[in-house]
Homo-oligomer: A and B are copies of this chain.
Amino acid sequence: MTDPKPTHDIEAVFHQKGIPFTRQRRQIWEFFAGADRAATIAETADALRGDGVGQATVYRTVQLFNDLGLLARVQDGQGELCYIAPPIGHSHPLVCGVCRRVIRFDGDGDLTELEALLGAETGFSIYGHHLEVYGICPSCQQTRREGDDGE
């Protein structure tokens, strides 16, 4: 049930929309696709600074990807806004509150039913939801335990 395959054929998406797929866009995409944890825009810009990707481009591109539905926003344990790669299909993130490692899962506790109920009770026309689950990943639990020398 966890980690639905995260492989968008991004190049095809761009081509199909007639948007140029540049070297910078590829590099930014690879940064996210190759990461197993959420990153802020600033972190992304830092990581790619040496590789000939300007920060204005990183800001523009992350927003573009997000608008195209190729990236998803999540909040980390400190409320910082981060992005993660391909939430292909319907999925939600399980985020490590310490290191931001993300595991995607599909399936939620049948929110469709809840949404129908809410819509009926409130008159709102429901169009979506946002679910994030927070936890501490195994390796951060480990680290935490080791640091626990009677503190």
A residues with CB within 8 A of B: 1-2, 73, 75, 79, 81, 94, 96-97, 103, 105, 107-111, 113-115, 117-119, 121-138, 141
Contact = CB atoms under 8 A, between A and B. Distances in A.
Nearest to A130: B132
Nearest to A123: B138
A118 B94 contact: yes
The 9 closest A-B pairs by CB, nearest first: A109-B109, A124-B135, A123-B138, A126-B135, A109-B110, A130-B132, A129-B133, A128-B134, A125-B136
A97 B1 contact: no
B79 A124 contact: no
A119 B131 contact: no
A107 B97 contact: no
A39 B64 CA distance: 26
Contact of A131 (B97, B127, B130, B136): B130
Given A124-B137, A127-B136, A131-B131, 6 more contacts: A75-B130, A96-B124, A122-B137, A125-B135, A125-B136, A126-B134
A130 B126 CA distance: 18
A115 B133 contact: yes
A123 B139 CA distance: 9
B75 A118 contact: no
A148 to B, nearest CB: 14
A138 B113 CA distance: 20
